[in-house]
Amino acid sequence: MATVKFTNVQKIYEKGHTPAVADFNLEIADKEFIVLVGPSGCGKSTTLRMLAGLEDISGGTIEIDGEVVNDLQPRDRNIAMVFQNYALYPHLTVFENMAFSLRLKKMKQDEVYRRVTEAAEVLGITEYLTRKPRALSGGQRQRVAIGRAMVRDSKVFLMDEPLSNLDAKLRNQMRAEIILLRQKIDSTFVYVTHDQTEAMTLGDRIVIMKDGFIQQVGTPDEVFDYPANLFVAEFIGAPKMNIVRTQLIEENGKFYVTPFGSRMEVDGVNGQLLKERGITSRDVILGVRPEHISIVEAGAENTIDSTILVNEMMGSELHLHVSTSTGEKLIVRTPTVNLSHEERNKMHTGFPLHITFPGKVMYFFDPETEENLLY
């Protein structure tokens, strides 16, 4: 059992400078997998390091299982941490690397053996126990680093960008392994990454940070469908959400948007919500995800005329970078399943594309505050 609670936690590295972490509040449930995500420098690692006890806390409290740990040494916090660079001892075997912290605690030999071999079994590295780290691949080293944390029976598992040194294929594989591992370890996890895909696939809940401030906390579905502000909207989802400043027009209880000289109705839940919130005609920042743009026949009403700049063939889908007749850039994502080889090949640079935004799936942000108007 391990809950974690941050209350008004703050970190100021240098007096007079803006805080690296400002007023961080979060309650993490027992066995929850929390991902801290955001661009480089937003304060993720600092938050994790304060929880681990590797960094002093400038203000507020951190509790583990109801106990304030602000002044506890890292070793007394019952926490295990896996770092980006693995920090394995090169002169020790895999077994001894995993056993290291247990030896320091003067644990009995048979108990050390039991813990190390059990963890190695779970991680599938039993056959490498007698090797030195240099004789392992990046993925195997990664597993040793995780194993070293596992043997300690820690209450909370901390991981700081554990996959960022791996190549793309291995990263995907290890991501899946972490999901499986998590089911076996049955512990509370706090995981730091700058990669939104990792955050979306691993987290029970995601904490999105920017400039030391939490922007939003929610499940992957929540932050994707209901981003609190423009920053979250653009950060979550790949390729990134398309953004355009435009006018929202209310006429006889119906709503329209007018990007790039077009006029498209906002219907469905969005239309309903705009009405319920009492929103009338105004300037907005309109957001539309690449997968929500439809390609339509030439001559259809209220479409946007565009030209393909770049066609990225991703296998199951195309990412079409297009330029509108008014010179704005958009990204359109379309599945390849219904396109023949010939149809796909026509879509090269300069090919005209008529597109429209379905009114059900649009996002509206205040141009001043950048808050989601329907959040």
For residues 323 and 173, what is the distance between their CA atoms, to the nearest angstrom? 36
Closest distance to ligand ADP from the beta carbon of 40 (Å): 4
Question: Smallest distance, Å, CB 17 to ligand ADP?
Answer: 8
89 near ligand ADP (CB under 6 A): no
- Looking at 1, 15, 16, 40, which residue binds ligand ADP (CB under 6 A)? 40
The three-class DSSP label of residue 207 is strand
Which of 34, 44, 95, 320 is the binder for ligand ADP (CB under 6 A)?
Answer: 44
Nearer to ligand ADP, 44 or 155 (CB): 44
3-state secondary structure of 222: helix
| Intra-chain end-to-end CA distance of the chain, in Å | 34
Residue 101, H or E segment = helix 94-104
| Part of the chain binding ligand ADP (CB under 6 A), chosen from 43-51, 82-90, 261-269, 273-281 | 43-51
Is residue 13 within 8 Å of residue 20, measured between CB atoms?
yes
Q: Are 93 and 130 in contact (CB under 8 A)?
A: yes
Q: Closer to ligand ADP at the Cβ: 99 or 214? A: 214
Nearer to ligand ADP, 46 or 311 (CB): 46
DSSP 8-state assignment for residue 5 = E
In angstroms, give the least distance from the CB of 200 to ligand ADP.
17
Question: Shortest approach of ligand ADP to residue 45 CB, angstroms?
Answer: 3
Q: What are phi and psi of 345, to 5 degrees?
A: -70, -20
Q: Which region, judged by CB under 6 A, interacts with ligand ADP, from 42-50, 115-123, 125-133, 237-245?
A: 42-50
Q: What is the DSSP string of 278-332?
A: T--SEEEEEEE-GGGPEEE-TT-TT-EEEEEEEEEE-SSEEEEEEEETTS-EEEE
Q: Is 46 in the site for ligand ADP (CB under 6 A)?
A: yes
Does 43 help bind ligand ADP (rule: CB under 6 A)? yes
Nearest approach, Cβ of 306 to ligand ADP (angstroms)? 36
How many residues touch ligand ADP under the rule CB under 6 A: the total is 10
Task: For residue 184, list its beta bridge partners.
Answer: none
Say if strands 205-210 and 33-37 run parallel, antiparallel, or are unpaired: parallel
- Of 247, 250, 244, 268, nearest to 258 (Cα)? 247
The answer to whether residue 45 forms part of the interface with ligand ADP (CB under 6 A) is yes
- Judged by CB under 6 A, which stretch of 2-10, 40-48, 130-138, 278-286 contacts ligand ADP? 40-48
Strand stretches in 95-199, DSSP E: 156-160, 188-193
Shortest Cβ 64–ligand ADP spacing (Å)? 20
The length of the chain, given as a count of residues: 375
Task: Please give the structure tokens belonging to residue 175.
Answer: 């991501």
Q: Residues near 112 by Cβ (< 8 Å), separated by ≥ 6?
A: 99, 102, 103
358 binds ligand ADP (CB under 6 A): no
Residue 195 is a binding residue for ligand ADP (CB under 6 A): no
Which of positions 15-34 make contact with ligand ADP (CB under 6 A)?
20
Minimum distance, C-beta of residue 18 to ligand ADP, in the bound complex (Å): 8
Residue where the block lists tokens 């019952």:
78
By CB under 6 A, tell whether 41 contacts ligand ADP: yes
Q: Rule CB under 6 A: is residue 85 a binding residue for ligand ADP? A: no
Q: Which stretch binds ligand ADP (CB under 6 A): 44-52, 60-68, 277-285, 343-351?
A: 44-52
Binding site for ligand ADP (CB under 6 A): 13, 20, 38, 40-46
